[in-house]
Structures are given as structure tokens and as C-alpha cells.
Amino acid sequence: MWLHLSLLHLSCLILCGQSQASDAAGRCRYTFTVAGPVESSCTGGSDKAAVDGMLSRLTLLESLVSRLMAGADGGMASAHEGGLQEAYSQVTRERNQLQQEKERLNGQIQDLQRRLGELSREAEQIGQAPCLQTHTSAGGEHEARPASDPPYSPGSEAYQEMKAELTEVSASHLLPEANHSFTGCGELLSVGEPVSHRKADSITGKYGAWMRDPEPQGAHYTNRTVWRIDAVGKDVRQLFAYEDMDQFSRGFPTKVLVLPEPVESTGAAVYRGSLYYQRKSSRTLIRYDLATERVAARADLPHAGFHGQYPYSWGGYTDIDLAADERGLWAIHSTSRAKGAIVVSQLDPESLEVRRSWETNIRKRTVANAFMVCGRLYTLASYAAPNTTINHVYDTATGTRRPASVPFKNRYRYNSMLDYNHAQRKLYAWDNFHMVTYDVTVRSSR
Ligand SMILES: *[C@@H]1O[C@H](CO)[C@@H](O)[C@H](O)[C@H]1NC(C)=O
Ligand SMILES: *[C@@H]1O[C@H](CO)[C@@H](O)[C@H](O)[C@H]1NC(C)=O
Ligand SMILES: *[C@@H]1O[C@H](CO)[C@@H](O)[C@H](O)[C@H]1NC(C)=O
């Protein structure tokens, strides 16, 4: 915009020069005032104001042209007609330029209006997304299901049973054994306070995924590189790379990678130099090599529900959640055979083939999110309650589930993503525009 305004300013200078030259000749004098770009349009700063300013200047120029044409100023000596003609054609050129500029700006306005419309619709959809705010604490038999939910109707007994178990376990049961000088793999003991590193500044950042590679490979990116995907939108393909946490917090990406196929929801993971994600509206998993910027592998996750069939409680097409931990790469999902219970599948990080699957009896819809630590699945009770808990542990080593009660805070009350980084021993989360981390302590047991 500034460029165009300076163009205008320049044209003013040229015009003024013309009239002054005539003045210097002492025969005729044209004086007119053209509002400068600063006065007329820069206070509002919007395109609309700029166009208005431009229009008024255009009008002034047009009237000048007609005055020149009509010889309205009178006393024009034929000797000066050549000069005037030149001035006239100059003004005409300026006018045509301005007209083009105006059309271009109008186009931009329409573009922005269209985008605004899209985003408003998106915002509306978010508003209508399943919001079971009091989900975990209420624990009622009949939870309100949003109309858009898929048809699967849960048998509520299993859930009731879990609730009953939950009440018997308290956090203090686990805490005395906390060992902060952890060196090996073990059980999650506690989750610290959330630390916000960045707040997204547009609606596309309401929810998303962000992470660091716990086991980076190659020279391209390091364990300092921060990755971010804003997941709001119909066609999510942008993967932002930040040099380090500092640049991330300031919002200065070093690179934007454009993914060849769109991303579904917030379940992506970065592991061993690749981005792993679920392709939009499919059960297809993609391994995207970050160094070569190419799809390195793809595979369907057998029988996995997708696009709202078995999401976490907040919805948002969180059917397939990828996670990396000390033991490898995992997909947390469900299948029609499991009838909505969480299935944990260990994946081959190269080929994405399923090595082995475990069917838990935790219904995916009853939990807000989940992550893996040392081959154990941990589930989050609520995505919205400010004080909630990690409420189940499923151990793939024994194939058993236990209730847990590790306190967890959703400071911004809309937690859409939760992943564990074993190299840093931190949880990465995306909570209502905020990209937050939590320190965790793990008991060294095996
Ligand atoms: C904590 O874990 C480390 C490493 O496993 C061990 O050497 C240490 O004795 C543990 N400390 C406590 C207080 O359990
Ligand atoms: C990255 O790895 C190095 C070496 O292993 C380690 O010292 C450093 O703390 C790691 N940095 C982060 C941000 O994880
Ligand atoms: C959450 O817990 C903290 C203490 O850990 C307490 O101060 C706060 O009031 C609680 N918030 C709610 C909404 O219960």
C-alpha cells in the first residue's frame, strides 16, 4: 500500500511542479490542493480508507483536467498551449494509472472480504464443534451429544465402571515416588504448570499442532527446530519451521513447507526427521521427509475410523492421533471392530505399517486427548476444565489399563493437542490459541 501511496505522492509533486513552472513564466497560474497520502488515508490504515482517499484525489485530478480542457482559467496564450497539452497528457496518464490502481485495490478488497467470509464460516463451525464443557466432572449418564456427531452410540456401562474406579484413586498415591533425576523409562508421575510460548494471532491458530523432533536426523534440522501447523481451515498444508524456541515465540518462521497433501486435525508428529500425519478425510498416514520435502511413505491405517467417526471428546476430526515416545511411533485411534474403544497401534517409522495393535477398553470419545510415554498410553479427562486429570493408563507391555489421577491444567480451556517429547521430557499442547509446554516427571521403573 505504501508503494502506491508514494506513487500518488510523486504524481502530486510532478503536477505541482507543472503549475509552478507556469507560475514562474508569469502568465498563468494553476493552484490546486491535493491531500497528501498521510493526511488522507494513513490514519485509518484500512484499504477502504486508502481507496476513498484515492477516489477524492482522482476527482480533483479529473476536475483539473476538465478545467484545463475548457480553458477555464482563461488568458491561455497559444504559446503555452504546447506546455499545457503536455501537462494535460501527463495528468491523463496519472489518472489512468490511478484508475488501474483503484481497480486493483477494489480487487484486493473483494479478496479480503471473501477471505473474511470464509474465516467467519470457519469460526462458526468451530463454535458448533462438540463442546462437552462439563464432560468429565459432570459424569452424567446422558451426555448431550451435538447433532453433528457420528451415529455410534456408546454402551454406557463401561464408562460408568471406569468412573467408579476413578473415585478410588488419588494423586497422592503416586506422588511420593517421584524421582526428578530420571534417567530411564518409566511411569508418568506428575505434570507441571503450563508454560505458554506463543499465542496464535488469527483464527487459523485456534487449534493446531506444534512440536520438536525428539530424535532429529541429518543436518537440516536440529532438536532446537520448532514445527507448527495451524489446523483451522479446509485445506491445511502449511508446516512452519522455526529455528528455535526464541524465534518461535517471536513468530518468525525460517521456512514454510507446503505439504503435498492436506492435513487432518491436530494429530501430527515429528520424529526422526519426518513429519507423520493423517491425510485429510482418509485413514491414510503420510510420512513426509523434512529434509527432501517429499512423501517418503504412505499407508492406510487398517480399519481406522476417520473424519469424525471416533474423535476425542472435543471433536475436531481427532480420529487418528500420532505419537512418538521412547519406544517408537504410535497411532492412537479406533476401529469399527473396537466400537470406539481406543486402539493403540505401533507403527514401523519407515513404512508406516502396523507392527502390532492393542485394543483398550477406554472409549475414545470419553477422553479429551492422549499421548504415549514409554509404551504406555495416557489419557486426558477434559479438554476444557481448568483443573483436570490424566485419568487412565494403558500399558502395552502388559495389555492392561489402570485408572490414574495425575493433575493437569488446561489454563486456556480448550486443549486441542497433547503430545509427549521424550528427549525433553515435556508435554506439548495447543490450548485455545496458546502453544504451551508442561514439564513432566517420570518414575524410573523399567
Ligand atoms: C532416581 O533415579 C535414579 C536413576 O534411576 C537413581 O539412581 C536414584 O537413586 C533415584 N532416586 C530416588 C530418590 O529414588
Ligand atoms: C539438543 O541436543 C543436545 C545434545 O544432545 C542437548 O544438549 C540439548 O539440550 C538439546 N536441546 C533441546 C532443545 O532439546
Ligand atoms: C484449580 O486448582 C488451583 C490449585 O491448584 C486452584 O487455585 C483453582 O482455584 C482451581 N480452579 C478451579 C476452577 O477449580
Reported as a single tens digit per residue, the pLDDT across 136-153 is 333 333 333 333 322 333
Task: Measure 189 CA to ligand 1 centroid, in angstroms.
Answer: 14
- Cα–Cα dist 41/94, whole Å: 19
3-state secondary structure 106-131: HHHHHHHHHHHHHHHHHHHHHHHCCC
Which contiguous run of DSSP H or E holds residue 302?
none
**Ligand 2 mean position, distance from CA 422 (Å):** 12
Write down the pLDDT at residue 149.
28
Domain boundaries, the chain: 164-444
H helix or E strand, kind and range, residue 360? strand 354-363
CA of 181 to the centre of ligand 1 (A): 6
Nearest to 27 by CA among 82, 79, 102, 86: 79
Give residue 418's pLDDT.
98
Regarding the beta carbon of 246 and ligand 2, being less than 6 Å apart is answered: no
Average pLDDT, the chain: 78
pLDDT of residue 133: 39
Per-residue pLDDT tens for 38-97?
Answer: 444 334 445 666 666 666 666 666 665 566 555 544 444 555 666 777 777 877 888 888
Closest ligand 2 atom, residue 224 Cα: 13
Per-residue confidence (pLDDT) for residue 8, from 0 to 100: 41
pLDDT per position as a tens digit, 198-220 = 999 999 999 999 999 999 998 89
Neighbours of 193 (CB within 10 A): 10
**In the numeric block, which cell numbers belong to residue 317?**
476430526
Q: Which ligand is nearest to the CA of 185?
A: 1
Identify residue 354 by its one-letter amino acid code.
V
Q: Which residues of the chain have pLDDT under 70?
A: 1-82, 120-183, 445-446
CA–CA distance, 170 with 176 (Å, rounded to integer): 12
- Whose CA is closest to 260, among 297, 218, 206? 297
Q: Whose CA is nearest to atom 2 of ligand 2?
A: 223
Residue nearest to atom 3 of ligand 3 (CA): 387
Q: Is 424 in the pocket of ligand 2 (CB under 6 A)?
A: yes
Residue whose CB lies within 8 A of the most ligand 2 atoms, among 223, 244, 246, 428, for a mutation test:
223
The CATH code belonging to domain 164-444 is: 2.40.128.630
Nearest to 6 by CA among 97, 84, 110: 97
Please state whether beta strands 186-191 and 434-444 pair in parallel, antiparallel, or not at all (unpaired).
antiparallel
